[in-house]
Amino acid sequence: TGNAPTPPTPATPEAETGAASPKFVSPPSNLTDVLDADHDDDVPLRFRTVENILGHTATPGLVHLELDSANEHAVYTHVKGDAKLIIGMYVDDLIITGADQASIGAFKREMCNIFNMSDLRLLSYYLGLEVKQREIGISLCQLAYAGKLLDKSGMGDCNACATPMETRLKLSKTSMSPLVNATNYHSIIGGLCYLVNTRPDIAHAVGYLSRFMEELHEDHQAAVKHVLRYIAGTRHHGVHYARKQDGKPALHGFSDSDMAGDLDTRRSTSSVLFFLGSRPVLWQSTKQKVVALSLCEAEYITATAAACQGVWLARLLSDLLNSEPGAPEIKVDNKSAIVNYVRTEEQLADVLTKPLGRVQFQELCNGIGIVEFDGDDGKN
């Protein structure tokens, strides 16, 4: 990993590289009036295209760095000979991975000669995500971030609970309980949304409680505190990706929905969960955009969303691995939907759909790969 501020500006890039003069384009017609309002010069506004800027950059080390993937922005590839590196970029933070350690080292040195950057060696911490790499696999968690969130909300010493939501809990925007200050609620929900990056077990609870941001009542606040109590008892939890010795891991997913679970709009909740091999790589729990008239229709809406996510994941894996995209398998616990059927007891996406009892919730958490990490020793 490394931090890469903007490269030094050469004196005369065109003269040094022999490139042609930059080409300019006019802004879109629907933006011209808005942009001209803040433009005092008589010269018309003109813009350089991204392709034109990249074509004139005087940084030879970036010649081998391709444009971002068509299926995921900010994912780049670096190809030199038979070696291929994958670079993930967020602002000025980079993650570099590849099969050949020598190629990774050479690329780092090449980038350090061009940019003023720091080599942080083996990835261990990235944007609040704690990464532990061992021979048996890679573990991800947000222990420190969860602790800071609990301290910020005044719940650092609270009593833990076994589930993120009470069983069969239903809340409404038209609650009759007293109003409370929403500022702290908004901040906590935002923090919980980021914690979902390594915690699929709280995805449904956080998605559900984020529906009440406009007008906060005491029962909404109590439900958020319940989630924080669950975080307090599971702050060491995260996901572990075991190293696969042979064979190609298969991409498969689960799709599930409730029926008219939202009391205010009567819309259903869609939950999608995808695995690469035996560990989760994508999870989401969202309110559907239309009102389904039957459970079968609600399942179809969710299955359609799952199919879109599956196609995207398959294409992204194809880009990264230089292979043909395969067709992921999607399992649904509704025979009327005519998709690969899975029994309700084996429907792992159920944990993203509705509040569950302690036993069922913990069984599903084990099924989707939530594990507990024991301090510096990693996975228990």
SS3 track for the chain: CEECCCCCCCCCHHHHHCCCCCCCECCCHHHHHHHHCCCCCCCCCCECCHHHHHHHCCCHHHCCECCCCCCCCCEEEEEECCEEEEEEEECCEEEEEECCHHHHHHHHHHHHHHCCCEECCCCCEECCEEEEEECCEEEEECHHHHHHHHHHCCCCCCCCCCCCCCCCCCCCCCCCCCECCCHHHHHHHHHHHHHCCCCHHHHHHHHHHHHHCCCCEHHHHHHHHHHHHHHHHCCCEEEEEECCCCCCCCEEEEEEECCCCCCCCCCCEEEEEEEECCEEEEEEEEECCCCCCCHHHHHHHHHHHHHHHHHHHHHHHHHHHCCCCCCCEEEECCHHHCCEECCHHHCHHHHHCCCCCHHHHHHHHHHCCEEEECHHHCEC
In sequence order, what are the residues at sequence separation of 6 or more whose Cβ sits closer than 8 angstroms to the Cβ of residue 29? none
User: 222-235 pLDDT, tens per residue?
Assistant: 999 999 999 999 99
Q: What domains appear along the chain, each with residue ranges and CATH number?
A: 2-7+33-123 (no CATH), 249-357 (3.30.420.10)
- Which of 167, 165, 168, 171 has the alpha carbon at shortest distance from 214? 171
**Tokens 């590196």 belong to which residue?**
85
pTM confidence score: 0.78
Mean pLDDT per 10-residue interval, the chain, length 380 residues:
42 39 51 46 49 46 54 80 84 86 88 85 91 91 96 94 94 93 92 96 96 93 96 95 77 93 95 93 95 93 94 88 82 80 88 90 90 62
User: 20-66 pLDDT, tens per residue?
Assistant: 454 555 555 554 444 444 444 554 545 544 444 444 444 444 444 55
- Which of 3, 1, 8 has the alpha carbon at shortest distance from 57? 8
- Which of 368, 369, 353 has the alpha carbon at shortest distance from 302? 353
The encoded tokens of residue 174 equal 């038209």
CB 349 within 8 A of CB 273: yes
